[in-house]
Structure 1
Amino acid sequence: MHSPPRIALVAGETSGDLLAGLLLDGLHVQWPQLASFGIGGPRMTERGFDAWWSSERLAVHGYSVELVRRLLGIVQIRKRLRARLLSADRPHVFIGVDAPDFNLGLEADLRRAGVKTVHFVCPSIWAWRPERVHKIRAACDHVLCIFPFEPELLARHGIAASYVGHPLANVIPMQPDRAGARRALGLDGDDEVLAILPGSRSAEVAYLASTFFQAAALVKQARPAIKIVVPAVPALRTRLERAARDCGMQEAITLVDGQSHTVLAACDATLIASGTATLEAALFKRPMVIAYRMHPWSWRLMRGKQLQPWVGLPNILCRDFIVPELLQDAATPQALAAAALDWLDAAQSDPARLAALHDRFAALHGSLRRDTPRLAADAVRTLLEA
């Protein structure tokens, strides 16, 4: 393609905005004058993206009437976006960045109308909801994958895909600066530090925060000098403060706004909610105890669709239970505290175990580190030229 393409993108949430920003960096190297538009956030607009709607409009918060209003609003946005993309603003390619519930159906409609479609981040069909593979095949001309095993899996179902690396692997250094992180948090170099990451979503905090803080109280009883640090999403800070107060831990816990990477770099071990944060902890080479709790009905539904014995990303990617997972009823304060203390004790009793974990995580880090902007943009260019 000789003239700059018109590229439509839809990114939901902060993580999608980050991924799309990296992709736009690569696309601008290929086509400095390209036109990009659709739904996005601040990182995208900094790169010249024309945001018809903000990615915040796709976020769903709240309950009952508010939730219904939000969902109806999202349906209307998708309807209006589809009509606009199939009329005067028709793009050469549409790229849906994550947000599969919003993007896959839209991609399928656009593809049937002759627009080339790309999905950035393979939905986790390897973990649960394998039936989604049929939606992906109908919706996508190409999938940009952030894990190395995904293209082969998709190829078995006739879906073209490229591995472009995981952006976090380039953001997080191979050798984190623990001393600098501790100075930034006001901690001493010889402090023993436990990080608690109970999730970034309201429901995660509701189900995990109190349990994590009760576990932290038990750890504190066993190791009175330990420092406990909690990076808080600002919008959830008040709820975390209340949960700490209810557990009698308000004086023992240090809450900081954001700074999850600084906290992970500084800690000796972490109690952490299952999700992307567990991969971040692995890239920081930190021992962790992964936990998750949800509504019992949701748990039964998820368990019925789970395809692998692991839930935490580090274990899935290493294909081994290299760190403990305590899920639902197993995630008791006593069990979490015992697992955290086991890692903390290993620093004196079994340093070889910690060294082996570090080596596994370093190898994982290396396998995920790629030039994501260039590889993703190359795949889009190849699709357009084809």
Structure 2
Amino acid sequence: MTDSPSARARNTLGRPFSLGGLTLRNRVVMAPMTRQFSPGGVPGPDVAEYYARRAAAEVGLIVTEGTYVDHPSAGTSDRVPRFHGEDALAGWEKVADAVHRAGGAVMPQLWHVGMVRAAGAPPFPDAPRTGPSGIPLEGTETGRAMTRADIDDVVAAFAAGAAAAEARGFDGVEIHGAHGYLVDQFLWSHTNRRTDAYGGDPASRVRFAAEIVAACREAVSPHFPISFRTSQWKAGHYQARLAETPDELEAVLTPLAEAGVDVFHCSTRRYWLPEFEGSDLNLAGWAKKLTGRPTITVGSVGLDNEFFAAFQGADGGVTDIEALLERLERDEFDLVAVGRSLLGDPEWAAKVLSGRFGDLRPFDAAGLAVLH
């Protein structure tokens, strides 16, 4: 490669990309990061400004922080935004407008925490902790196993959120199916001990997620992009794996692709690590190879330590992205999501795309927002 570092970054990350009926101006995605800056679940002008600032600095696609779907057990904080109710949706419409005026595209991430919910927590203190089998990720405080009526209600809530996203002017929608939250709890054998059609082998454990995807696809226009965020790791279970082999991963992802997923957003601790022995492909690389769908890679992009170190108060120094560009050049994945680097430096994308690497600001752990 003879291009200068600045030209290489511009020519690789700066390429447009089509996703359903959406054309992104470049390959840079802002990763969803929970902030708890929406009192009463309503995003205000400061939230619109926060996202618009990064769009104005050339982020191609913003995936918002996780937003609760319309189900009483979906959340565990009254400061996390919700994606239902006229007040919250009016706030989100202003967010979408602000991002569009700044030249970016934006998707809300729809979220149900499942058994991660704390008993008695807002926004609905009387709502039960629910999950596929009522089994927590860790600890002994059990919850209620979801009935078929519960499952139908949650599927409908995700579909309503997707329809609201399109109606309020968003450019797509993302389903949070990672990190040990509700959708992922169905996918993971540790938390899914059901003996009905929603538990057992991988094909049965993926049924709930596939029904959500299919319902969302039915609720929106054919070319409205649907993203699905997936991960092997879970909060507090960083070595957990849904799949030990490519065949097992294919059994999870193929039904989701067939149900209507347009892009897989593959969350890892460090994007540069191979997912399976015998191949250099990371999780996003394998997801693309197995499904043929576009993928987004994410995991400590632009930083010299993984994001779990930030939970311990460690700062993240700036590091180069040569290995990232090499992988993108060979089409291992299609888009690159950036988290902490964009928290620490809202102009990260603009600086990288213009080759101003020396101007990048390091991540300060004091400003950490919990990653989701």
TM-score normalised over the length of structure 2: 0.26
TM-score normalised over the length of structure 1: 0.26
Instruction: Give the number of the structure whose residues are more often helix, by fraction.
Output: 1
Give the greater-gyration-radius structure (CA).
1
